[in-house]
């Protein structure tokens, strides 16, 4: 186990360095931020002076050497847009993202397992049809459409909920529902598909023959066998949310890392993009390690490979 973790962390570290290199050089292919940062009417001299001061008139390799030197001193650069340390911006935004992702995924997984399992128990049945249609419709609906319609309906027409913003539990309702639609929809489908396979396998029949109750068959025996793909898909969906829930952050005014990333890419705020990728990548790599550990916990045979 320790050896597994050791090599895994080492490999992830190498991949992280590769990622940072890729981001550093690729982001510099997207143009010179001088024009975006300076006012549209700035003179050519001002532009040259700005580019020179921030090193954009130098080659990408030279810029990278400066970056390495700064990083070795613990300095990840200043955000061009906000004139503050880039890492500070990212770390400010990250808790919001993690909270949203955590709550939305926990609820989605729990609900999807129950709904998907029941649907798989009688494929083609009424429950299966309704739950499949509803979850798919939710997953394939444009999320901003749901978000804004939700605001207009529940905050403006009925006045049950606040329109947007951060605060107590009533502020969470709309964002979380919007955020859950896609993970829940996809998870229901995957749980259902995996359970279908598992329910018709021999060991479930054996369990049934032994007189194990139906609910135990579904939620313990079959589900456990269906677990690998469910965990994998859940992991991928979590990664999506860790990268930021852009629509929810934008519409509801939750200051997360998704909006920060989009603004920084569009505004060519290179230091912030780099810092944001660094932090999200670490979270994602960590999550993938946890998922691999879960595989082993769920299916001990995998350990022997």
- DSSP class of residue 302 equals G
Q: Is 173 in the site for another protein (CB under 8 A)?
A: no
Phi, psi angles (nearest 5°) of residue 142: -65, 125
Nearer to another protein, 66 or 165 (CB): 165
Nearer to another protein, 58 or 154 (CB): 154
Q: Looking at 200-269, list the stretches that DSSP marks H as alpha helix, in order from N- to C-terminal side.
A: 202-209, 214-216, 223-242, 246-252, 257-266
Nearer to another protein, 45 or 74 (CB): 45
Residue of 108, 243, 245, 248 interacting with another protein (CB under 8 A) = 243
Phi, psi angles (nearest 5°) of residue 163: -65, -45
Q: How does 187-199 read in b/e, with b if 16+ C-beta sit within 10 Å?
A: bbbbbbbbbbebb
Residues binding another protein: number (CB under 8 A)? 127
Tell the smallest beta-carbon distance from residue 69 to another protein (Å).
20
Tell the smallest beta-carbon distance from residue 39 to another protein (Å).
4
Residue of 111, 148, 173, 293 interacting with another protein (CB under 8 A) = 148
Q: Considering only 56-64, 68-76, 228-236, which stretch makes contact with another protein by CB under 8 A?
A: 228-236
Indicate the SS3 state at residue 78. strand
Tell the smallest beta-carbon distance from residue 146 to another protein (Å).
9
Site for another protein in 2-61 (CB under 8 A): 11-12, 14-15, 18-19, 22-23, 26-27, 29-31, 35-47, 49-50, 53
Counting every residue written for the chain, the total comes to 305
Q: Tell how far CA 261 is from the center of its chain.
A: 13
Q: Is 85 in the site for another protein (CB under 8 A)?
A: no
Of the candidates 240, 223, 229, 126, the one whose C-alpha atom is nearest the C-alpha of residue 182 is: 240
Contact 203, 221 (CB under 8 A): yes
268, burial (CB in 10 Å: exposed 0-12, middle 13-18, buried 19+):
buried
What are the CB-based long-range contacts (under 8 Å, 24+) for 5-9? 5/289, 8/289, 8/292, 9/289
Site for another protein in 180-199 (CB under 8 A): 182, 185-186, 189-190, 192-194, 196-197
Residue of 121, 143, 179, 184 interacting with another protein (CB under 8 A) = 143
Q: Is 87 in the site for another protein (CB under 8 A)?
A: no
Residue of 60, 75, 111, 162 interacting with another protein (CB under 8 A) = 162
Site for another protein in 272-301 (CB under 8 A): 273, 276-277, 280-281, 284-285, 288, 295, 299-301
């Amino acid at each position: 186990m320790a050896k597994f973790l050791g090599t895994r962390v080492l490999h992830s570290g190498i991949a992280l360095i590769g990622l940072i290199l890729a981001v550093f050089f690729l982001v510099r292919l997207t143009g010179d931020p001088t024009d975006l940062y300076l006012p549209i009417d700035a003179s050519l001299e001002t532009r040259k002076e700005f580019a020179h001061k921030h090193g954009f008139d130098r080659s990408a390799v030279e810029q990278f050497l400066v970056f390495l030197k700064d990083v070795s001193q613990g300095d990840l650069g200043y955000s061009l847009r906000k004139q503050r340390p880039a890492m500070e911006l990212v770390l400010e935004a990250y808790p919001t993202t993690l909270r949203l992702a955590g709550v939305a995924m926990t609820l989605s997984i729990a609900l999807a397992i129950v709904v998907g399992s029941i649907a798989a128990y009688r494929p083609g049945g009424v429950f299966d049809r309704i739950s499949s249609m509803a979850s798919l419709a939710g997953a394939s609906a444009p999320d901003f459409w749901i978000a804004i319609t939700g605001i207009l309906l529940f905050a403006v027409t009925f006045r049950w909920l606040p329109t947007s913003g951060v605060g107590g539990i009533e502020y969470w309702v709309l964002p979380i529902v919007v955020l859950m639609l896609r993970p829940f929809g996809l998870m229901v489908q995957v749980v259902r598909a995996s359970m279908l396979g598992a329910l018709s396998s021999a060991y479930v029949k054996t369990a049934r023959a032994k007189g194990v109750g139906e609910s135990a068959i579904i939620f313990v025996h079959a589900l456990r066998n269906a677990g690998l793909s469910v965990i994998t898909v859940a992991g991928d969906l979590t990664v999506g949310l860790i990268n930021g829930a852009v629509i929810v952050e934008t519409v509801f005014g939750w200051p997360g890392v998704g909006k920060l990333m989009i603004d920084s890419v569009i505004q060519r705020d290179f230091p912030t993009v780099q810092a944001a990728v660094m932090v999200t990548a670490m979270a994602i790599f960590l999550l993938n390690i946890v998922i691999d550990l879960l595989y082993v916990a769920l299916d001990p045979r995998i350990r022997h490979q």
